[in-house]
């Protein structure tokens, strides 16, 4: 989640939003553009958000206003808000001197974790509005959830009749963000000349609602796991460390419904075989990703898996 500010060009005031104990709070550096990163304070689901709004008048001028309020907003991009809480700080009137207002949003249910992707930004914003003057600051929300289903291993086959038969197995289907994917590939029948084999992680974003749905896929990583022709009976081990990649939790499957019925993000393991004539054979399997406190540098809770 990110922070932004917008000031009326003629507004005779400066506005500052400060969160309590902000310096001591965990922060997360997030890539918001190709060459730009922002640093946001991190809050958890159910945690209270407390702070102050400082309004400083310029040149000692008094200011008439139509009311001052602070809002806690969760949105998908700029068009879809799924959470709006508001507190009135001052009734319509006049400010004659610099003023500080306290705000507190108690035990806010932050249902969705923040996400910054190709075409979607999930944002929680603390904003105050004074006539046409707006000052915003974003926070980043982390949500820690335990898998609620049996974490079965993944077993699949890739085959071309009488030419190729491969079985591959991954140790489980649900992973934490800093987990390790362990697996094996078994060659049961090889009658075509395989040149190379690649394994990739693909993230797929889905936005909008029927009939206007937009899908965007991004390859997070791709690496070669075999170079050269395999023979029947050969086994290739797979060991992929997820901690080095910028991953987020799965937003569908993890939640009862995807975010506000307008956004989801899912992850897939994609296995690709390329023969000497550059024909490609592939098999794709969805995996589910979770966040846990130990992955973010927190001490593990009793129910965190090691």
Structural domain boundaries, residue 47: 13-141
Q: 114 and 164 share a domain?
A: no
Q: What is the pLDDT, as a whole number, of residue 185?
A: 86
pLDDT band at 300 (very low <50, low <70, confident <90, very high): low
Residue 149 lies in a domain: no
Q: 179 and 78 share a domain?
A: no
Q: What is the pLDDT, as a whole number, of residue 201?
A: 93
Domain count, the chain: 2
Q: 167 and 250 share a domain?
A: yes
- Tell me: the pLDDT tens digits for 68-91? 888 888 877 666 777 788 888 888
Q: 166 and 121 share a domain?
A: no
What six digits make up the tokens of 280? 């490609």
Q: 22 and 127 share a domain?
A: yes
Q: 166 and 211 share a domain?
A: yes
Distance CA 254, CA 69 (A): 35
Q: 161 and 280 share a domain?
A: yes
The answer, as to whether pTM is greater than 0.85, is no
What six digits make up the tokens of 144? 């820690």
Distance CA 194, CA 175 (A): 30
Distance CA 195, CA 188 (A): 17
- Tell me: the pLDDT tens digits for 23-52? 888 888 877 777 788 888 888 888 888 999
Residue 255 lies in a domain: yes
Distance CA 39, CA 277 (A): 48
- Tell me: the pLDDT tens digits for 130-158? 545 777 888 888 877 665 566 778 887 77
Residue 7 lies in a domain: no
Q: What's the CATH code of the domain at 94?
A: 2.60.40.640
Domain boundary among 141, 169, 193: 141
Distance CA 117, CA 199 (A): 22
Distance CA 17, CA 135 (A): 8
Q: 66 and 129 share a domain?
A: yes
For the chain, report the end-to-end CA distance as a whole number of angstroms: 28
Q: Is the pLDDT confidence value at 220 over 60?
A: yes
Q: 121 and 27 share a domain?
A: yes
- Tell me: the pLDDT tens digits for 221-252? 998 887 777 778 888 888 889 988 888 888 65
Residue 4 lies in a domain: no
Domain boundary among 141, 172, 207: 141
Residue 37 lies in a domain: yes
Q: 221 and 110 share a domain?
A: no
| Mean pLDDT value of segment 201-206 | 88
Residue 265 lies in a domain: yes
pLDDT band at 200 (very low <50, low <70, confident <90, very high): very high
Q: 269 and 158 share a domain?
A: yes
Q: 137 and 208 share a domain?
A: no
Residue 306 lies in a domain: no
Residue 3 lies in a domain: no
């Amino acid at each position: 989640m990110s922070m932004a500010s917008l000031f009326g060009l003629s507004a005779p005031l400066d506005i500052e939003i400060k969160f309590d104990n902000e310096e001591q709070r965990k922060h997360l550096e997030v890539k918001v553009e190709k060459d730009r990163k922002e640093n946001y304070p991190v809050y958890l689901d159910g945690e209270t958000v407390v702070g102050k709004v400082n309004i400083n008048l310029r040149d000692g001028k008094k200011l008439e206003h139509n009311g001052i309020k602070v809002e806690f907003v969760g949105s998908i991009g700029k068009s879809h808000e799924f959470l709006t809480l508001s507190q009135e700080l001052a009734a319509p009137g006049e400010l004659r001197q610099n003023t500080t207002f306290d705000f507190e949003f108690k035990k806010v249910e932050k249902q969705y974790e923040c996400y910054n992707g190709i075409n979607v930004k999930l944002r929680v914003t603390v904003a105050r509005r004074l006539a046409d003057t707006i000052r915003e600051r974003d926070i980043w929300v982390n949500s820690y959830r335990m898998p609620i289903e049996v974490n079965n291993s993944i077993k699949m086959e890739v085959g071309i009749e009488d030419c190729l038969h491969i079985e591959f197995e991954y140790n489980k289907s649900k992973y934490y963000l800093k987990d390790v994917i362990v697996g094996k590939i078994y060659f049961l029948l090889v009658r075509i000349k395989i040149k190379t084999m690649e394994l990739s992680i693909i993230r797929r974003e889905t936005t909008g609602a029927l009939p206007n749905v937009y899908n965007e896929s991004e390859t997070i990583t791709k690496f070669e796991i075999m170079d050269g022709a395999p023979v029947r009976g050969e086994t290739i081990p797979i060991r992929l460390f997820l901690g080095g990649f910028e991953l987020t939790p799965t937003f569908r499957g993890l939640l009862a419904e995807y975010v506000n019925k307008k956004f989801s993000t899912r992850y897939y393991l994609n296995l690709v075989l390329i023969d000497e004539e550059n024909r490609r054979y592939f098999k794709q399997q969805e995996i589910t990703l979770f966040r846990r406190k130990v992955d973010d540098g927190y001490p593990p809770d009793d129910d965190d898996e090691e």
